Amino acid sequence: MAVVIAVANQKGGVGKSTTAVNLSAALGKRGKRVLCIDSDAQGNLTSGFGIKKKSLEFSVYDALLGRKTLSDTIVKTDFENVSVVPSTSDLAGADIELIELENRQSRLKMQILTLKSEYDYIFIDCPPSLSLLTVNALCASDSVIIPLQCEFHALEGLSQLVESIKLVKRRFNPNIDIEGILFTMYDGRLQLTHQVVDEVKKHFPSKTFETIIPRNVRLSEAPSHGLPCVYYDKGSKGAQSYEALADEILSHSKKKAVSIN
């Protein structure tokens, strides 16, 4: 059964989509069957995998509104073992449209349940807001990866996000956990970077990933070629850091399996 992981932070431009694309591609290379769901109207995850939005028949929007099953919307990518549920700008209206529907917070969860046996990992790339789309992702997930850019306001947004995760845990999804806080766009030359890392580790001692993603220009170039960086430039620091993150995620799954047995 797939482990479902949301990649969430209501702050924009912190590396959510970059993380979802590269982590999925790296796990796919390790033989894991991965489904990546784009739950953001910007569609950066969709284009990051080289999928042309104009060519799409259906998207995550159709599945959320119940017009299609999630499985009808899946597109195979050119990358080993990775499939995508794409998104288009249609999704921009979904937050309002969902309000009127039954089970508005658990529509994605119900769809994902039908597919869980076909994958090892399902990632959901969230939009930069604490909207109903993000709530749907949190309700559907076993855990959350929180990418965090090491900057001054990072902590403010983080406590709000953690409160939202706790709320979803109390009301809808008692099993949800934080998989880890991921430091992104790390620049060790900046004093502020170290302060933010120390502060976050103090507040969340066992919840930060060991792997840290450096600021790396190859990571920002890769999407314009429609390639995950782990394919675009395997030797780059950015690609190697996401390969290390994939190994760390695999080690988490092993630990959990041991603690359950």
Ligand X SMILES: Nc1ncnc2c1ncn2[C@@H]1O[C@H](COP(=O)(O)OP(=O)(O)OP(=O)(O)O)[C@@H](O)[C@H]1O
SS (H, E, C) 66-116: CCCCHHHHCEECCCCCEEEECCCHHHHHHHHHHHCCCCCCCHHHHHHHCCH
Residues in the chain: 261
- The size of the interface with ligand X (CB under 6 A), counted in residues, is 20
In sign, the C-alpha dihedral spanning 207, 211, 213, 219 is negative
Which of the listed partners (Mg ion, ligand X, none) does 93 bind, with a CB threshold of 5 to 8 Å by partner kind? none
- The answer to whether the beta carbons of residues 35 and 113 sit under 8 Å apart is no
Residue 134 binds ligand X (CB under 6 A) = no
Among 12, 66, 93, 188, binds ligand X (CB under 6 A): 12
Give the per-residue contact string, 165-204, with ligand X (x = CB under 6 A; - = no).
-------------------xx-------------------
Which of the listed partners (ligand X, Mg ion, none) does 219 bind, with a CB threshold of 5 to 8 Å by partner kind? ligand X
Q: How many CB atoms lie within 10 A of CB 40?
A: 25
**Footprint (CB under 6 A) of ligand X, residues 40-99:** 40, 42, 44
What Cα–Cα distance (Å) separates residue 73 from each residue in 69, 99, 151, 153? 7, 22, 37, 37
For Mg ion, the closer of residues 44 and 173 by Cβ is: 44
Query: Could you give the CA distance from residue 231 to residue 234 in angstroms, rounded to a whole number?
Result: 6
Tokens of 78: 């050119």
For Mg ion, the closer of residues 48 and 180 by Cβ is: 48
Residue 23 binds ligand X (CB under 6 A) = no
Task: Point out which span in 85-93, 95-103, 167-175, 209-217 binds ligand X (CB under 6 A).
Answer: 209-217
- The answer to whether the beta carbons of residues 40 and 127 sit under 8 Å apart is yes
Residue 16 binds Mg ion (CB under 5 A) = yes
Give the per-residue contact string, 41-80, with Mg ion (x = CB under 5 A; - = no).
---x------------------------------------
**Residues in contact with Mg ion by the rule CB under 5 A:** 16-17, 44
**Residues in contact with ligand X by the rule CB under 6 A:** 12-18, 40, 42, 44, 128, 184-185, 213, 215-216, 219-220, 223, 238
